[in-house]
Amino acid sequence: TGRFLEVMAQALGIKTEELGKKSLQSRKKIKISSMCTVFAESEVISLIAEGQAKEDIVRGLHEAISNRICSMANRLRLENIITLTGGVAKNIGMVRALKKRLKARVYVPDEPQIVGALGAAIAASK
């Protein structure tokens, strides 16, 4: 998900860290059809050429990712609280898109990007 968003940010000509705030400025819903990085990048470039607002495109990307995650999550038995980790958890637009779609509370740790490393360190210490 992180690398996917990095590629899309590059196609949009904006910094990855700006994606979250940018999507919150969206005024129009745009559907992104593909989750394949190559096809989605092509779709983003076409949307830019059509004159679609970058804010709306970013929102569409977040919603597409959220839909994909939720369709996979629905196959599992979810708890009432889901923890979102990794660098993507620092993207407020992605967090909001997930909160909107999931039927559970989404918890983001203070430093979500180090959770995996912390868990590995704890496991290695035992």
| Residue 78 binned pLDDT confidence (cut-offs 50, 70, 90) | confident
Task: Please report the DSSP string for 111-125 in residue order.
Answer: SGGGHHHHHHHHHHH
Residues in CB range of 65: below 8 A, 6 or more apart: 1, 4, 5, 35, 94, 97
51: left (phi over 0), alpha (psi -120 to 50) or beta: left
Check whether domain 2-125 has CATH 3.30.420.40, yes or no: yes
* Segment 40-73, tens digit of pLDDT: 999 999 999 999 999 999 999 999 999 998 888 8
The predicted pLDDT at position 63 comes to: 95
Q: Report yes or no: 86 and 1 within 8 Å, Cβ to Cβ.
A: yes
Domain boundaries, the chain: 2-125
Average pLDDT, the chain: 93
Give me the pLDDT at residue 67, please.
92
20 pLDDT higher than 90? yes
39 CB-near residues (< 8 Å, 6+ apart): 33
pLDDT mean over 107-123? 93
